[in-house]
């Protein structure tokens, strides 16, 4: 499946969240990652993020698609992240 991850973590946890997410997905820009991921790794990613998050302060949003063929992305302004993430 293709996943877009958007997160907002407190200052003390944001670095840990990015480190965890980059094990599974490609960094696009601040607090946004995307990529193909297996169901097993998707479950692991969610569990790892939940283990460090404070549910009263932090938030995570996943957008899931069957494949990246069913998604479209447009960019405006300063490009961040790597070129390998272009759909």
Q: Which residues are annotated as a binding site for Mg(2+)?
A: 8
Query: What letters, b where the CB count within 10 A reaches 16 and e where it falls short, cover 50-67?
Result: eeebeeeebebeeeeeee
Binding residues are 8
The residues, ordered by sequence, that sit 6+ positions from 19 with a Cβ below 8 Å of its Cβ are none
């Amino acid at each position: 499946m293709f996943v877009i991850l958007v997160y907002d973590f407190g200052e003390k946890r944001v670095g840990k969240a990015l480190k965890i997410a980059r094990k599974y997905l490609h960094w696009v820009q601040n607090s946004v990652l995307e990529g193909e991921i297996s169901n097993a790794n998707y479950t692991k990613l969610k569990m790892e993020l939940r283990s460090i998050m404070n549910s009263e302060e932090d938030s995570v949003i996943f957008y899931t698609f069957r494949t990246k063929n069913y998604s479209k992305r447009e960019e405006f302004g300063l490009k961040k992240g790597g070129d390998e993430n272009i759909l």
